[in-house]
Structures are given as C-alpha cells and as structure tokens.
Amino acid sequence: MAIDTRGETAGKPSGEKKKRTSPALFYRQIVSELRKVIWPTRNELVTYTTVVLVFVVIMVGIVYGLDAGFGWVVLRVFGGA
C-alpha cells in the first residue's frame, strides 16, 4: 500500500496558482521551526566535532597514501627524473 507523500499539493490540479507567503509569515514559520530543533549540548558538540575531525584526518591520510603510491608506480613504470 503506497502512501502519498506529496503534501498539500496532492490531488490539486496543477493549473492552480499557489498563494505567496509574506516575508513576515515566512520569518514566523522559520522561528517556529527553529524552536522545535533539539540543539546539541556542549559535550555532544565537542564529541561530534572530534569524530568529524578524526574522520577527515584519516581520509586525508588514505588519499595522500594512495596518491603517493600511484605516483611512485607511475614514475617506476614510465620512468622519471
């Protein structure tokens, strides 16, 4: 059984024009949505940042290693200075 996830526009004829949202209403909606966000604590933020930085350093090391290895192989196969 499929669920229609197209939101408000589901079932409406495509020829209808949508009403524009005023900037004030748009701002109020943004503020309302941001109040629903569960912001991370300082401890969680430090943990997430550390995990991301460690992952990036590992990936840089892998890419550097592959680049150096392939460069060495290319110089050995095709000769280099």
Residue 18: its pLDDT value, please?
79
- Establish if 69 belongs to a structural domain: yes
- Establish if 7 belongs to a structural domain: no
Residue 21: its pLDDT value, please?
86
pTM for the model stands at: 0.57
11, pLDDT greater than 60: no
From the centroid of its chain, how far is CA 69? 31
- Establish if 63 belongs to a structural domain: yes
CA distances from 77 to 60, 65, 71, 72, 80 (A): 26, 18, 10, 9, 9
68, pLDDT greater than 90: yes
pLDDT band at 1 (very low <50, low <70, confident <90, very high): low
Average pLDDT, the chain: 87
Q: In this structure, are residues 20 and 12 in contact, taking their beta carbons and an 8 Å threshold?
A: no
Number of compact structural domains in the chain: 1
- Establish if 25 belongs to a structural domain: no
Query: What residues make up the domain containing 54?
Result: 41-81
